[in-house]
């Protein structure tokens, strides 16, 4: 009788466990199916072409190959970029823009450099329709901006209007000796008080434990804000060619030497012309592409379905 009861209890436990496992399996399958259905929801329509959430997720993986968490604001920005790229792609195909194989291969080589190394990556990307679409988008943009230049007159005008951007603040060239012993630091500070630059550099090579010891203690050139505040206060108060009192930090005991002081200065136009040229061209390119996007939005019928996005989309929804 006891054996029969025990068998019944074991049977009940086994049936209950199997039921629990079966219930979890069904729940998991239902969850997967729900996610698959959600991924097929429309998020963008341009004329008669529909893009799904899965299309956008693939786009994000292509734009950001490395896995990482992306917040809602960043996803909203990526979706706005997705909409713009698909509008350009639609326009490129409507204009029957061609894509030579040589351009595709060159683009593929550049693309591979941005991906983590993995076997068969080149073949995998080459077979992806996304590659051709991305290249069409880039080619379309290039055709719009290829004639953009910045003239010498524009560079000069920008320089005159933005001189404050080319002001270089006061800077100092600094060297140091770093030791672990306070007694040694005091001894060196007293010994080097009236020493010249070469004597200080030799002492740095002989005694300093800092990484810059092999350079005679030369730390580099710094402007206000580059160094920790307490250290900076000591250094910037020095006169050129003078050494500091012993300064204690988490690394040990420092003796600083102010090798050279550079007064605030305005960079000449020829020193910054390349930087200005890049700024002007970048600004022109951005304006041209933005104008083209607005024209495409006004030309084609398009619609976003924000209710099907798993984040808050803050852009325009239709035209």
Task: Give residue-wise pLDDT tens across range 61-111.
Answer: 888 877 678 888 999 999 999 999 999 999 999 999 987 888 777 777 776
Per-residue pLDDT, 31: 46
CA proximity to 248, closest of 183, 173, 172:
183
Token couple for 223: 């402007």
Specify which residues 260 forms β-bridges with. 173
* pLDDT at 139 exceeding the cut of 50: yes
Per-residue pLDDT, 285: 96
CA proximity to 287, closest of 145, 170, 172, 176:
145
301: alpha, beta or left? (left if phi > 0; alpha if psi -120 to 50): beta
Token couple for 210: 């800092």
* pLDDT at 26 exceeding the cut of 80: no
Average pLDDT score over the chain: 87
Per-residue pLDDT, 298: 95
Report how far residue 18's alpha carbon sits from residue 28's, in angstroms, rounded to the nearest whole number. 15
Taking CB atoms within 8 Å and a gap of at least 24, the contacts of 262-265 are: 262/168, 262/170, 262/171, 262/172, 262/173, 262/221, 263/170, 264/167, 264/168, 264/169, 264/170, 265/167, 265/168
pLDDT band at 119 (very low <50, low <70, confident <90, very high): confident
In 40-128, alpha helices (H) = 53-63, 72-94, 101-112, 121-126
Per-residue pLDDT, 17: 57
Confirm if 60 and 266 have CB atoms less than 8 A apart: no
Helices 129-145, 72-94: crossing angle, 10 deg rounding? 80
Based on the number of CB atoms within 10 Å of its own CB, is 41 exposed (0-12), middle (13-18) or buried (19 or more)?
A: middle
Query: What is the H or E stretch that residue 133 is in?
Result: helix 129-145
216: alpha, beta or left? (left if phi > 0; alpha if psi -120 to 50): left
* pLDDT at 291 exceeding the cut of 90: yes
3-class DSSP state of 162: coil
pLDDT per residue over 186-218, tens digit each?
A: 999 999 998 999 999 999 999 999 999 999 999
Per-residue pLDDT, 5: 64
């Amino acid at each position: 009788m006891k054996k029969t009861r025990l068998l019944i209890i074991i049977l009940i436990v086994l049936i209950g466990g199997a039921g629990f496992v079966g219930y979890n399996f069904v729940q998991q399958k239902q969850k997967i199916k729900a996610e698959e259905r959600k991924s097929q929801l429309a998020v963008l329509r341009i004329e008669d072409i529909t893009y799904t959430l899965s299309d956008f997720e693939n786009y994000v993986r292509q734009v950001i190959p490395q896995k990482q968490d992306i917040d809602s604001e960043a996803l909203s920005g990526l979706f706005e970029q997705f909409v713009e790229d698909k509008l350009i792609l639609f326009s490129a195909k409507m204009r029957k823009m061609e894509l030579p194989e040589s351009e595709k291969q060159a683009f593929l080589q550049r693309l591979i450099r941005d991906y983590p190394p993995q076997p068969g990556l080149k073949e995998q990307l080459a077979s992806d329709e996304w590659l051709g679409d991305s290249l069409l988008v880039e080619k379309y943009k290039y055709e719009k901006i290829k004639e953009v230049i910045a003239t010498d007159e524009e560079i000069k005008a920008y320089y005159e209007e933005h001189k404050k951007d080319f002001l270089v603040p006061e800077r100092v060239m600094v060297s140091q000796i770093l030791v672990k012993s306070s007694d040694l630091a005091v001894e060196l500070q007293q010994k080097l008080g009236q020493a010249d630059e070469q004597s200080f550099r030799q002492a740095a090579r002989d005694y300093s434990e800092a990484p810059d010891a092999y350079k005679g203690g030369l730390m580099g050139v710094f402007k206000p804000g580059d160094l920790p505040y307490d250290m900076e206060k000591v250094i910037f108060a020095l006169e050129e060619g003078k050494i500091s009192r012993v300064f204690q930090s988490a690394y040990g005991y420092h003796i600083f030497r102010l090798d050279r002081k550079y007064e605030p200065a305005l960079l000449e136009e020829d020193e910054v012309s390349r930087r200005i040229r890049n700024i002007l061209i970048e600004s022109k390119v951005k304006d041209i592409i933005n104008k083209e996007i607005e024209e495409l939005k006004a030309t084609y019928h398009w619609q976003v379905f924000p209710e099907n996005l798993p984040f808050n989309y803050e852009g325009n929804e239709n035209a």
